[in-house]
Structure 1
Amino acid sequence: MELELRHLKTIRAIAEAGSLTRAATALGLAQPALSAQLRRIERALGGVLFERGRHGVRTTALGELVLERTRIVLPAVSELQREAARFARAQGEGERLRLGGTHGPLLGALVDRLADTAPGTTVTTCASWSERELAEMLTEGRLDFALAGTCGSTPPPDSPRLAWEEIAVDPVFVMLADGHRLARGREVDLAALAGEEWACVPGDGCFADCFTAACARAGFTPRRMYETDTASCVHLVQVGRAVGLCRATFPPTPGLTIRPLTGTPLMWRHLLGWHPAGQRPDTAAAVLARAREAHAGAAARSDSYARWLAQRRPVPGAAAHPAHATAPGTGSISPGQGVG
């Protein structure tokens, strides 16, 4: 029998599980089948890899040698597969784009822009609550581009290996039911919401910690936070169960009033990421331009954001894009740099 990659994965699984029973469960095999497979592998390698005992298995000296090589070979083969996938996609540029994004209107708006400017390109999307998951999919070659975000100056995920460009920097606004006592004002002081419950979409960044810190500066500890999907957040706000946190580009919605928070205590950076080895510079530049257009269009459709921007209109000659009208950004974030 010739040794194959699947045999190395089996050895690794047994060593990590410490038991043939647990390894069989992890691999989806019956234990007798795994035991028979291990015996065939050991015959091919010329010796015993694991000592069996009442409390599980332990690697022999030969087993340690094989495991050491396995830790080198398996990651190398995985990286080869990812590089080959990125190279193949780069060669077929213009035919297909796979976009990922956190849940929100910007992903759909980007698809709409690309449909106009690249009608021959097939665009597919994948949405995730996790910025880290999107970064992992970029690194592994399962996505071409990803829309993600970070709170304040937090570095984007996996920045040493991925290229990130800033699309825009937005203030975080608050969603109120139309009948809420604070809905008629032009803006809302965070301290005035001390007695409220809150609704927000989930994520794996630092936004929850930044929000809690902002509340502490305003003199209170936030009550219950409902982390749920956008539609559920909207419903909780509409029925008066909670007030919601949203990006300033949140679209007009019946029953909701969107208002800025006084002093802009929270900011959100929109980012576009990709793996530099898998994309041509002109393609990345084109997708970034469409993403910025999509954000500008979303900002223009928000009356509350338009009023907020008008109060902070930049001096003549300054950049007109909302990102630069709200807060200075880095613009370009090269691999290895953060966004602060």
Structure 2
Amino acid sequence: MLRNVELEVRHLRALCAIADAGSVRKAARQLGMTQPSLTTQLRRIEKALGGQLFFREPTGSRPTPLGHAVLCRARPIVAEMRALIDEIASASVREQGARLHIGSTNSRAVAGWLRRLRVRLPETDTTIRTDVSANALLHMVATGQLDVAFVHEVEGAPLRVPEGLVEHELIAREPQFIALSESHPAAARAVVHVRDLADDQWMVDPTVDGEWAGLRRIWTAAGITPRVVHGDYLTAVDLVTAGEVVTPCQPTARSRPGMAVRPLHGDPLAVRLFMACRADGTPAAPADALFADLTSSYMEIAWSSEAYRDWLVRHDGPLPVPVPASAT
């Protein structure tokens, strides 16, 4: 009997995830499943209920009228189950000691953040989860799977921030740079124009929320239509150094032998960086303390990155120079 209840709740949670994510692919990532597995599960649920729950469209999945009716009943059940799990987890934390679950999209600031948190909270079991999807991480915070998340929001492509989350903005507009081979003609310049990369092949990770939309916007503004290859930014270094591709990168990206990191003229591509947590705070420490450690780590990385440091000096900010630890 209990197993049947758990199965039904899992099905309801899957439906809510598809509706919130807007696609089966993104929902599968949030749920830790493969897309084919979730698609099969959705078909079984639809067969059991006797009707289609989502319209399958090129841009994603949209609830049908029947889907809306089912979701209206499903959401309160899922929320109550989540509340029950949270109560049990809270009791476990009180018995076993404090825990802190943090999440982040890719950032060099995370290592320093973790180091500072472990100094601040030596008795706390601090864990990290990384994901290319900022929306997935925010969903995990909202549902109690994470306590806090550090994410980026591509300019022009707003994230779906769930209700009940509080945002702590680290930087309103972080410019995104370009990584290219040191042998590329544009690498000889301090600043690269997007149009100078019109004939290059761009590597893009389409699983990063908002990335594809942001790049298409700057290509259109520059009047170019470059060749595109899909891939993982973390594994792009070899292709960049070989001169096969150029790829957008964070201004804090570490330059490698054979690779140059340069700002783009006019900073057409940018992201907003912020930390999100639930309105009721985090169990191990005040959110302001966690954010202070994150800010300190980010400033340390930003000012130690040559290309970003030069950009910050030219633009008179927007980050203050970090105070050395020995001076505090």
Query: Which residues of 2 match residues 314-333 of structure 1 at below 5 A?
Result: 320=320
Identify the match of residue 233 of structure 1 among 224, 229, 236: 236
Report what 2:280 is aligned to.
Answer: 277
- Against the structure 1 CA distance between its residues 239 and 94, is the aligned structure 2 distance closer, same or farther, given a 3 Å change threshold? farther
- Shift in Å, 1:124: 1.1
Q: Is the 8 A contact 1:12 1:70 kept in 2?
A: no
Corresponding position of 2:259: 256
CA offset at residue 73 of structure 1?
Answer: 6.8
Q: 1:202–1:229: 8 Å Cα contact kept in structure 2?
A: no
Aligned to 1:166: 169
**Partner-residue secondary structure (3-state), 1:205:** coil
Structure 2, unpaired ranges of 5+: 15-39, 52-69, 323-328
Corresponding residue number in structure 1 for 2:127: 124
State the partner residue of 1:206.
210
Matches within 5 A, 1:211-226: 211-226=215-230
How far, CA to CA, are the matches of 2:157 and 2:76 in structure 1?
A: 34
Residue 182 (structure 2) pairs with residue 178 (structure 1): yes
Q: Aligned in 2, Cα 1:90/1:183: closer, same or farther, shift over 3 Å?
A: same
The structural deviation recorded for 1:93 is: 11
Q: Does the CA-based 8 Å contact 1:86-1:277 persist in structure 2?
A: no
Note if 1:133 corresponds to 2:136. yes
- Verify: 1:111 aligned to 2:114, yes or no: yes
Q: Deviations over 1:268-324 (max 9, x none)?
A: 11111112225269621111011111110111111111111111115xxx97279xx
Partner of 2:292, secondary structure, is helix
Aligned-partner SS, 2:187 = coil
Q: Secondary structure at the match of 1:160?
A: coil
Contact 2:204 2:212 in 1 (8 A): no
- The one-letter code matched in structure 2 to 1:122 is D
User: Is 1:191 equivalent to 2:191 in the alignment?
Assistant: no
Partners in 1 of 2:71 and 2:153 — Cα distance?
A: 38
Name whichever structure is richer in helix by fraction. Answer: 2
Question: Which sections of structure 1, spanning at least 5 residues, go unmatched?
Answer: 17-24, 28-54, 60-66, 323-340
Shift of 1:218: 0.8
Q: Partner of 2:186: helix, strand, or coil?
A: coil
Residue 104 of structure 1 and its aligned partner are, at CA, apart by: 2.9
Aligned length: 275
Mark the CA change 1:70 to 1:262 in structure 2 (over 3 Å): closer, same or farther.
Answer: closer
Q: 1:62-121: per-residue Cα shift (whole Å, max 9, x none)?
A: xxxxx9997477325323225425744885898321111112322222112223333333
Instruction: Evaluate the alpha carbon distance shift between residue 273 and residue 76 of structure 1 in structure 2; reply closer, same or farther with a 3 A threshold.
Output: closer
Flag the structure with more relative contact order, 1 or 2, with Cα contacts below 8 A and sequence separation at least 6: 1
| Deviations 1:171-194, CA, capped at 9 Å, x for gaps | 000011111111111110111100
Greater mean deviation of Cα atoms: 140-149 or 87-96: 87-96
Matched with 2:298 is: 295
The question of whether the paired residues in 1 share the 8 Å contact of 2:299 and 2:319 is answered with no
Distance in 2 of aligned mates of 1:57 and 1:265: 48
Quick check: 1:157 aligned with 2:157? no
- Tell me, what secondary structure is at the counterpart of 2:100? strand
Counterpart residue identity of residue 119, structure 1: P
CA contact (8 A) 1:174 1:243 kept: yes
- Could you tell me which amino acid in structure 2 is paired with residue 97 of structure 1? L
2:137 counterpart SS class: helix
What is the alpha-carbon distance in structure 1 between the residues aligned to residue 316 and residue 80 of structure 2? 53
Query: Is the 2:93–2:99 contact (alpha carbons within 8 Å) kept by the matching residues of 1?
Result: no
**Taking structure 1 as reference, are residues 111 and 150 closer, same or farther at Cα in structure 2, changes over 3 Å only?**
same
Q: 1:94 & 1:12 partners in 2: Cα distance?
A: 29
Identical pairs, percent: 24
